[in-house]
Structure 1
């Protein structure tokens, strides 16, 4: 895994900023009710953000978290590092870097060793409800957020330009998280407005072929988690992915070679204490650039570790 100086500086600044402020969270939330770190850096599940605010900070406190994630499928690998600050259980600022190893796909494209690297800066604000305090009512915790994503320059720049895809974009989302504490059940729904292709790893939008491919799409995301006990949760996630890049691919003579499909996982999260959590998941990311992978489903593992205070 490679750590760029810019990401290390960003993550360090986030953590140090929280550490230098008064009222740091020492006790904070119930285990696992603050979620884990998603692939984009925001607190939630592995694939999707929740309305919860990351870290152990409660009202009047400031806390932080840092995480490292690795995932692998039949044809691809993904490494992620990131950090976040939670402020008064009301606001969250996050940063993450994704390093996507294209493996044989890069070789097939004449670009052996191709890595797609994406930096993500996120902001989330809780606007209504409290997942724990409102657990005995039907009121969910609701948050709105945005994620600014930039894809680093690679040998695919010319291809993305030809497809009419940009290398930066902004995702907007609203999440509602409902904790049924008596039933040990958490349910989250997120609605994301995005132009991202494969979460941004293949750029944003695509004007080639028309069809409104440079417009925002609304994509639903769902998570369900069951607390087996105070330290262990199991659950599943579903994340709808836009498939507008396929139209541009067809216009470029690639048939369905750039098709994308929805992402899913089944996970188990373990928190031995309030500062450490580990998440292991089986993921199904559908097809990713099926033109070079014989349309194989990208199924595999996801492993993430988080340190929070």
Structure 2
């Protein structure tokens, strides 16, 4: 990127009420925690996504997380790490579920900008984002309906707040906001006898690189409206506690036109995210996930147009 672009903006308190509100909800959930004697079948509640909701690593599913079944309250917590050639991402979060119907989640992302921050004159720059999620199961039951064609269906919302950083003035110049809200609907079909799970999600979003580069853009007349992006997950249960699968998550490309107007050509282009994963549940309360990820190009102007491939690992504890 060009070095004359302004990078520094006054520090502003970002999303202070968001973590507090979710922490209160999680505390209330824990105060009434009813631990299931048997809980759900292993891995049928999904793992924790990088945004906190239950699903795969990249995409939410219609399942409600934790080990709680109908009439119970459950809790889960997770930590995740992804590393590509030029970037790193650490995520931690928690979720509470009620009656296998409602899920509330909170995730905090810490993105190491690596070489991009250095080339921008901001070595060591980290982008931090807080995400509050709510999901409601509206129809079906993935396990109970596994011998029918009826999927489990859920609707969800994710409110995202990017904390203030040295990148604020750049985002302002591009016309990108530091907060945004995603809305999605997911349908999950479990073929239990065959050991196959299929999920499809449609997400309405303005998020650039999941929100880590802000939301929307207006520079150069860039489209600043919501886009509908598809997300697909397929998993195969090798045995009752071991699954392999694939995920695809479409991403808006709102910054490309703004980057072109700023003289960067395709230097801010974004691509879809995808992974190949393996998930293992050594016990009903613990699941471990490892994946090969392809996050496409992230700020290709500073990374020689490379695709960002790497590894992803995650651990979830659910009750």
Q: Could you say whether these structures have the same fold, taking a TM-score greater than 0.5 normalized by the shorter chain as the test?
A: yes
Task: Report TM bin, short chain.
Answer: over 0.9
Matched, 1:237 2:250: no
Q: Which residue of 2 aligns with 1:21?
A: 32
SS at structure 1 position matched to 2:282: coil
Query: Is the contact made by 1:92 and 1:123 (CA closer than 8 Å) also made in structure 2?
Result: yes
Deviation at 1:28, TM superposition (A): 1.4
2:316 paired residue number: 306
* TM-score normalised by the chain length of structure 1: 0.95
**Once the two structures are superposed, what CA deviation does each residue of 1:14-53 show, in whole Å capped at 9, x if it has no partner?**
5543331153334211000000000000000000000000
Please say if 1:44 is aligned against 2:55.
yes
Root-mean-square deviation (Å) = 1.6
Alignment of structure 1 residues 216-255 onto 2, 5 Å: 216-255=226-265
For structure 2, the 5+ residue unaligned runs are 1-15
- Give the C-alpha shift of residue 66 in structure 1: 0.1
Q: Secondary structure at the match of 2:219?
A: coil
Greater than 4 Å deviation, 4+ residue runs: 5-15
Alignment partner, residue 57 of structure 1: 68
| Aligned: 1:81 with 2:92 | yes
Residues 19 and 130 of structure 2 are in contact (CA less than 8 Å); yes or no, is this contact kept in structure 1? no
Asked if 1:293 is matched to 2:310, the reply is: no
- Pick one of 152, 174, 177 that aligns with 1:166: 177
Q: What residue number does 1:284 align with?
A: 294
| Residue correspondences, number | 305
- Are residues 1:115 and 2:126 paired? yes
Give the TM-score normalised by the residue count of structure 2.
0.93
CA distance in 1, matches of 2:25, 2:317: 14
Q: 1:63-102, aligned counterparts within 5 Å?
A: 63-102=74-113
For structure 1, the residue ranges without an aligned partner over 5 or more in a row are none
Q: What residue in structure 1 maps to residue 3 of structure 2?
A: none
Pick the aligned partner of 2:156 from 145, 163, 166: 145
Check 1:22–1:44 CA distance in 2 against 1; reply closer, same or farther (3 A cut): closer
> Paired residue for 1:270?
280
Provide Cα deviations, 1:202-261, integer angstroms capped at 9, x if missing partner.
0000011114x2100000000000000011000000001111210000011110000000
Partner Cα distance (2:199, 2:239) in 1? 19
